[in-house]
Amino acid sequence: METEHKNNKRVYLDHAATTPPDPRVVEAMLPYLNTHWANPSSIYVEAQTTRRAIDQARQSIANLIGANTSEVVFTAGGSESDSLALRGVLAASKRRGNHLITSAAEHHAVLDTAEQLEIDGDADVTIITINSQGQVDPNEVAASVREDTVLISVMHANNEVGAINNIDAIAHAAREKNPHVLIHTDAVQSVAHLGVNVDELGIDLMTFTSHKVYGPRGAGALYVRSGTPLAPQALGGGQEERRRAGTEDTAAIVGFAVALNIASHERETNLAHERTLQRRLIEELPKRISLSGITGPTSLDDRLPGNVSAVIGFVEGESILLALDLAGFAASSGSACTTGSVEPSHVLTAMGVPEDLARGSLRFSFGHSNTDEDVNRLLNELPSIVERLRELSPIATTEAPAHWQPWLQS
Ligand SMILES: Cc1ncc(COP(=O)(O)O)c(C=O)c1O
């Protein structure tokens, strides 16, 4: 796919939406698609091979995140893991309470699950605000913790603006108020980039997924600390120690483990490369486009490597994306999961970005195969696209309204 992009002179700048599978991952998966396809729960000898492959993948992933093997539950992806964490813990903790705390910046897999739990009367939900850079304040979380708080779910790194949260500080502050509270983090975007360790983060549950780390789509995991109450949400078979029923996708699980392993070994090189491209675009974009600004953390230390999010005044993000697509670029406006919707990003509006400016949001996310040349091309094309769109707009002026000022750098 990536090679195809290159040959067609297409530039893929949407690695936060999904990543191309690493050829080494595909190679490792093939035997489990072609030959070793037996149901791992069966008792015959063919099944022992697939069972062993899953056990090894679980062991490898557990080692990489500092967990025990029995604490890794395979799922079909990040959304399922988020849903299992919230629903599973609340359903198993009814005697302790039903208070759930989460943040306004979460992925919809968490926010919509929390909302549905509340509608169904299964949770009393508190949504914590975020600051203007997209981060959660540990003290705000602690201030919301009650005696009946069962679970706190705060993402490790935000998929739209790249803001990294201090999960350890959040967990610490919350437990000072109520030592029984359980902490879940969605580490879908951070697991490859930052190299997470469950003890260092101080969490009880963690969501991560294969297709954001150059693995295949269709495999994910939920880390569940030993002793954490969790009611299964998919019932039937006894797979995953009765925590998630369903015949395992051996090939996808093997690919997931190989992808995470590669990410771990090549982290430093990839990080440095993505930081270089990211820094250049963050510095240059506002210089080349009037009435624009970078959103998210100002310090790169607080920002996911590879993420560049921006707002551009007097243009619709979706219109820019269509024009960029025609010019050969694949990018995103806010979250890919909400592409097609005309609502401004819930993350940007929670940060305080005015709605009329948030409509002009863009997200670029770099990956291994991007080059300096990709950034050059983007910086050459984007200003003229914006200019063309503004010429068509009846409301565009050269002056920014006063309420945009704090968000613009040009
Ligand atoms: C932060 C975050 N959580 C959850 C998900 C959902 O993961 P999946 O696509 O594997 O279901 C995504 C995907 O965009 C994400 O970015």
CA angle, 130 then 134 then 137, to 5°: 45
**Nearest atom (ligand 1) to Cα of 220:** 10
Tokens linked to 306:
């590879």
Residue-level pLDDT at 9: 81
Other beta carbons less than 10 A from residue 326's beta carbon? 10
Q: In a mutational test of the pocket of ligand 1, which residue from 108, 184, 209, 249 has the highest number of ligand atoms less than 8 Å from its CB?
A: 209
Q: Is 337 in the pocket of ligand 1 (CB under 6 A)?
A: yes
The 3-class SS string of the chain reads CHHHHHHCCCEECECCCCCCCCHHHHHHHHHHHHCCCCCCCCCCHHHHHHHHHHHHHHHHHHHHHCCCHHHEEEECCHHHHHHHHHHHHHHHCCCCCCEEEEECCCCHHHHHHHHHHHHCCCCEEEEECCCCCCCCCHHHHHHHCCCCEEEEECCCECCCCCEECCHHHHHHHHHHHCCCCEEEEECCCCHHHHCCCHHHHCCCEEEEEHHHCCCCCCCEEEEECCCCCCCCCCCCCCHHHHCCCCCCCHHHHHHHHHHHHHHHHCHHHHHHHHHHHHHHHHHHHHHHCCCEEEECCCCHHHECCCEEEEEECCCCHHHHHHHHHHCCEECECCCHHHCCCCCCCHHHHHHCCCHHHHCCEEEEECCCCCCHHHHHHHHHHHHHHHHHHHHHCCCCCCCCCHHHHHHCCC
Q: Is the dihedral of CA 114, 119, 125, 130 positive or negative?
A: positive
Question: Exposed, middle or buried by CB within 10 Å (0-12, 13-18, 19+), for 130?
Answer: buried
Integer-rounded Cα Rg, in Å, for the chain is 22
Going by C-alpha positions, the residue among 286, 277, 263 that lies closest to residue 364 is 277
Greatest pairwise CA separation for the chain in angstroms:
73
Residue-level pLDDT at 102: 98
**Nearest atom (ligand 1) to Cα of 77:** 10
| pLDDT (tens digit per residue) in 7-33 | 458 999 999 999 999 999 999 999 999
Question: What's the gap in Å between 83 CA and the centre of ligand 1?
Answer: 11
- Rounded to two decimals, the pTM is 0.96
Q: Is 334 in the pocket of ligand 1 (CB under 6 A)?
A: no
Tokens 């979250």 label which residue?
335
**Nearest atom (ligand 1) to Cα of 210:** 10
Other beta carbons less than 10 A from residue 271's beta carbon? 16
| CATH superfamily placement of domain 2-20+267-407 | Aspartate Aminotransferase, domain 1 (3.90.1150.10)
Question: What's the gap in Å between 55 CA and the centre of ligand 1?
Answer: 24
**Nearest atom (ligand 1) to Cα of 80:** 11
Q: In a mutational test of the pocket of ligand 1, which residue from 14, 15, 75, 79 has the highest number of ligand atoms less than 8 Å from its CB?
A: 79
**Nearest atom (ligand 1) to Cα of 79:** 11
Answer whether 271's CB lies under 8 Å from 394's CB.
no
Answer whether 289's CB lies under 8 Å from 410's CB.
yes
Q: In a mutational test of the pocket of ligand 1, which residue from 159, 304, 339, 345 has the highest number of ligand atoms less than 8 Å from its CB?
A: 159
Residue spans in the chain of domains classed CATH 3.40.640.10: 36-265
Question: What's the gap in Å between 134 CA and the centre of ligand 1?
Answer: 17
Is residue 362 part of the annotated active site? The answer reads no
* Residue having the nearest C-alpha atom to atom 4 of ligand 1: 78
CA angle, 177 then 180 then 184, to 5°: 95
Q: Is 79 in the pocket of ligand 1 (CB under 6 A)?
A: yes
Q: Is 186 in the pocket of ligand 1 (CB under 6 A)?
A: yes
294 beta partners:
310
**Nearest atom (ligand 1) to Cα of 106:** 1
Tokens linked to 379:
């910086």
Q: Domain 36-265 is of which CATH architecture? A: 3-Layer(aba) Sandwich (3.40)
* Residue having the nearest C-alpha atom to atom 16 of ligand 1: 159
Q: Is 321 in the pocket of ligand 1 (CB under 6 A)?
A: no
Residue spans in the chain of domains classed CATH 3.90.1150.10: 2-20+267-407
Buried b or exposed e, range 298-317, using 16+ CB within 10 angstroms: eeeebbbbbbbbbbbbbbbb
The low-confidence residues of the chain, meaning pLDDT below 50, are 1-7, 335-338
Give the up-direction half-sphere exposure of residue 364: CA atoms within 13 A in the CB hemisphere. 27
- Which strands make up the sheet holding 205-209, listed edge to edge? 72-75, 220-224, 205-209, 182-186, 149-153, 99-103, 124-128
Question: What's the gap in Å between 79 CA and the centre of ligand 1?
Answer: 6
Residue-level pLDDT at 17: 97
Q: Is 107 in the pocket of ligand 1 (CB under 6 A)?
A: yes
Q: Is 163 in the pocket of ligand 1 (CB under 6 A)?
A: no
Tokens linked to 384:
């003229």
Question: What's the gap in Å between 174 CA and the centre of ligand 1?
Answer: 25
Catalytic residue among 337, 379, 396, 408: 337
Q: Is 209 in the pocket of ligand 1 (CB under 6 A)?
A: yes
